[in-house]
Amino acid sequence: MPVNKIKSFLFHFFHFNKQERNGIFVLCVIISILFALRLLLPIISNESKQVQFITLNTAASDSSESSDGKQKFSEKNNNYHQTQKQKFVFNPNTVTEEDAQKLGFSKKLSARLVNFRNKGGKFYKPADLKKLYGLSPKLYAELEDYILIPNTKKENKRDSVFTKTSRTYEKKTYTKVLVEINSADSLSIVFLKGIGPGFTKRIIKYRSMLGGFHSMNQLKEVYGMTDSLFLILTSQIQLNTNTVIKIPINAIDFNSLRKHPYFNFQKAQAIINYRSKHGKLNEEDFRGLNLFSDEKLSLILPYLSY
């Protein structure tokens, strides 16, 4: 009997009628759908975030590419302008508009230069270029050492004698003209064989620092001067020592003396100290200071005045 009761109890407890079974089925379907949604929601949300991330990255890359493009264009443009500006020897009476722009002239300024020449204008010396309207002093200073205007002298149109049957020409003889290096300007020096604008500038600068050359050998002290170039140069120049600027050794101040290439800080100070203690010095006193070797003294003494 107890077993039958248990079976009856279980049967009535777990037995469902048709409506209950339908309800349980619907409930199971709903639970399955909710469970499936629970599994799919993280995947759907991740995909939407990924799409948003890709969109943002694409926009960022586009902006970076455009900024990089602008930067590359500006760098290319700057490099273009930097490479455009060149330095070379030119004659303002014959330079083309294109070459003038390479030298740093603006398009408008180069056109004005050509227009000036077309109207009969002419430059006779480098300084005449400063009169060109619109040319800045800075640009002229950069180009001054590169301006070459050959000396043009009127020559007879007929250098030969013509006959009906034959043509004969007068034989021209050229005499070698030596350039006086202490008074020559940049235009005269740059035409010397082996000397360009850069070397011309160095020679003139060192000549100014010394006060002029009193010996040909001093040209060897110019930066970059080789023995072969020295031999070529000295065969084309001459020296006038009367133009050498003297150093008033008993009156010159410390700062001016130390600027001379042959005097450094210590040597200039020693001379000033000697003057303050003993008064004026002569050549014998200067030698007695023992500041320079005999070779150096031979270079310095011609500059001193007492």
Question: Considering the domain boundaries, does residue 193 fall inside one?
Answer: yes
Question: Domain total for the chain?
Answer: 3
38 and 127 share a domain? no
Residue 113 CB neighbour total at 10 angstroms: 24
Question: Considering the domain boundaries, does residue 273 fall inside one?
Answer: yes
Alpha-carbon span 55 to 164, nearest angstrom: 92
> What are the pLDDT digits (tens) for 132-166?
888 888 888 888 888 888 775 444 444 434 444 44
Last residue of a domain, one of 7, 39, 61: 61
111 and 195 share a domain? no
213 and 285 share a domain? yes
221 and 272 share a domain? yes
| Domain of 211, in residue numbers | 174-305
> What are the pLDDT digits (tens) for 103-140?
888 998 888 888 888 888 888 888 888 888 888 888 88
Alpha-carbon span 114 to 248, nearest angstrom: 50
For the question of whether the overall pTM of this predicted structure is more than 0.75, the answer is no
Walk along the chain (306 residues) and give the pLDDT tens digit of each residue. 566 777 677 666 666 777 878 888 888 999 999 888 888 887 776 655 554 544 444 444 444 444 455 454 444 444 444 445 677 788 888 889 888 888 888 998 888 888 888 888 888 888 888 888 888 888 888 888 888 887 754 444 444 344 444 454 444 444 467 999 999 999 999 989 988 899 999 999 999 999 999 999 999 999 999 999 999 999 999 999 999 999 999 999 999 999 999 999 999 999 999 999 999 999 999 998 898 999 999 999 999 999
Tokens of 294: 């005999």
Question: Considering the domain boundaries, does residue 248 fall inside one?
Answer: yes
24 and 121 share a domain? no
134 and 234 share a domain? no
Radius of gyration, CA atoms only, the chain: 47
Residue 187 CB neighbour total at 10 angstroms: 16
Question: Considering the domain boundaries, does residue 116 fall inside one?
Answer: yes
